[in-house]
Amino acid sequence: MNTRKKKELLKSRVYDKTNGKCAKCGKTIGMKNTISAYYIPKSKDGTNNYANLIPLCKRCARLKKSRILDIEKCLRYLPDNYKEFLKPNTVYSLNSYDFIHLVKDYFGLNDEKVYEMIFSQLAYCNNLLNSKGINYQDLKKALIPTKSSNDREIAFWFDSNKISSGMYGYEVFSRLIPLLDKKSTFSGLMGDYIDILKKDKSQSFLKQMLIQNINECNKSDWLGSSQYYVIYVSNITKNRLVDIVNELKKYEYFYGYTDLYSGSVLKDYLSAILVNGFIKSKNRIIMPNPDEEISNLNIYGYPFEENDYSVYSINADCFNMFLSYKIETKYVDKNDLSFSLNAIYPKFENVNSLAVEIPIDKWNYISRDAMAGKKGKGGIISSLDEELRNRSSFTQCVNQNLYRNYFYNLRRNKYGILLFNTCIPLKMVDGSYRKTLIALKFFPKQNRLVLETIT
């Protein structure tokens, strides 16, 4: 199909969105007089993607200019299903490893089709959650890394050799669940400490890695890595951790715990072997459901209901794609980063070509109180190693670490601006490393990333 035919077909599809009416004023217009207007204008990186085009009469198109119209007030004649594509959207975390890779490769989809597929699947996921009285926004804390120094990421270790029952997962969860804070929200991952290295000295390496990182609560005789069962909690307060550990150490099979707030080789390894089991959102437990014919299936059979939790399960593909917590690791698949950006923009070239810029006025803003030692942005800069307190070195450090973690909280705000977050380690004055969240503006047409803020 030649270019002219493609443009005519696209205009026809846009025209059909409102059955020949102007989306703004409702005036009946013919195909010839229909303007396929950009909802998000080109000046704000809007594309000629079908989802971004709205049918307007010539007068309304002229008045719109480069403004972004209020969806509910100004696009009253656009059907709701098309409005959904135009609303500000957020993807807290995107797991592309299975479903998206498979579908893109099998059907030969381009970036635009992948964008539409991700958006449609997110809408489907939201509808499933809403049907169960759950808001996607309420799960944010379970899907992005904790930054607060009062909250920790913890791996609890259990020696299955000391549990007589073969159902050791049930045994340890029956002890852990009553200890959880009903008000907390986090993701729970679990799995055996398996050996995926399969080398001559890999067991020795795994043993030393565990011994060097664990806060031991009970003795355990090493027979092999797979004897240890791990439960990873993505977000837990220090006080709750103390209470849980004091109770669990009464059981001889509780080996101990590891604080994984900061990056480490062990954290990198666990990111590769543990599976997402559930999300705890206050008194609700959300699980993947491989059998949708059975509603709200507790697939693990762990005693959540007995401890006054309500169990909900949703489509396994949706859960794996949008509700899976990704443990921070420096061994990130760049294809995953590309798919993440593809989730908020329909055309994407190459993640390798992106580099962060920090404009001088932005640097002055985030460092203005540094000399006075004040809190806030300036307080962050003043706490860093002296070498990082100038814009050039700080920018270089950010770019060196940009692709050593996942992208989170991907979003398009009401002004059409694309943003996302990532976490990077910054060296402190005392030689330790500070876990720092950076928010970046993404300008795809210019292939630019610009620092928005740090926390």
* pLDDT per position as a tens digit, 263-274: 899 999 999 999
- Are residues 72 and 84 in contact, defined by beta-carbon separation less than 8 angstroms? no
The per-residue b/e assignment along 422-446, b for 16 or more CB within 10 angstroms, e otherwise, is bbbbbeeeeeeebbbbbebbbbbee
Residue 1 has pLDDT above 70, yes or no: no
What average pLDDT does this structure show over 306-332?
94
Q: Kindly indicate the confidence band of residue 351, based on its pLDDT and cuts at 50, 70 and 90.
A: confident
Residue for token pair 């013919």:
30
Q: Kindly indicate the confidence band of residue 377, based on its pLDDT and cuts at 50, 70 and 90.
A: low
Q: In whole angstroms, what is the distance from residue 339 CA to residue 210 CA?
A: 33
Rounded to 10°, the helix 111-131/334-342 angle is 70
What average pLDDT does this structure show over 239-262?
97
CB atoms within 10 A of CB 186: 24
Domain spans, the chain: 3-87, 139-322, 350-454
DSSP-derived 3-state class of residue 152: strand
Q: In whole angstroms, what is the distance from residue 372 CA to residue 389 CA?
A: 13
Beta bridge partners of 426: 434
The per-residue b/e assignment along 255-271, b for 16 or more CB within 10 angstroms, e otherwise, is bbbbbbbebbebbebbb
Residue with more model confidence, 455 or 86: 455
Q: In whole angstroms, what is the distance from residue 187 CA to residue 277 CA?
A: 8
User: Quick one: what percent of the chain has pLDDT higher than 90?
Assistant: 66
- The tokens for 66 are 């480069």
What average pLDDT does this structure show over 341-345?
90
Q: In whole angstroms, what is the distance from residue 57 CA to residue 27 CA?
A: 7
Pairing of strands 448-454, 356-357: parallel
Burial class (CB in 10 A: 0-12, 13-18, 19+), 364: exposed
Q: In whole angstroms, what is the distance from residue 22 CA to residue 428 CA?
A: 57
DSSP-derived 3-state class of residue 449: strand
pLDDT at 113: 85
The per-residue b/e assignment along 39-65, b for 16 or more CB within 10 angstroms, e otherwise, is bbbeebbbbebbbbbbbbbeebbeebe
- The tokens for 79 are 């059907």
Which of 442, 422, 426 is closest to 434 using CA atoms? 426
Residues 6+ apart with CB under 8 A from 195: 202, 203, 206, 224, 225, 226
Residue 146 has pLDDT above 90, yes or no: no
- Are residues 230 and 156 in contact, defined by beta-carbon separation less than 8 angstroms? yes
User: Quick one: what percent of the chain has pLDDT higher than 70?
Assistant: 97
The topology under which CATH files domain 3-87 is: DNA Binding (I), subunit A (1.10.30)
pLDDT at 349: 64
Mean pLDDT (the chain) is 91
Q: What is the pLDDT of residues 167-219, one digit of tens each?
A: 999 999 999 999 999 999 999 999 999 999 998 899 999 999 999 999 999 99
pLDDT at 98: 66
Q: In whole angstroms, what is the distance from residue 311 CA to residue 319 CA?
A: 14
pLDDT at 415: 83
Pairing of strands 310-315, 284-289: parallel
The DSSP result for 273-297, as a single string, is: H-EEEEEEETTEEEEEES-TTSTT-
Q: What is the pLDDT of residues 90-101, one digit of tens each?
A: 999 999 866 787
pLDDT at 89: 85
Q: In whole angstroms, what is the distance from residue 78 CA to residue 81 CA?
A: 8
Residues 6+ apart with CB under 8 A from 148: none
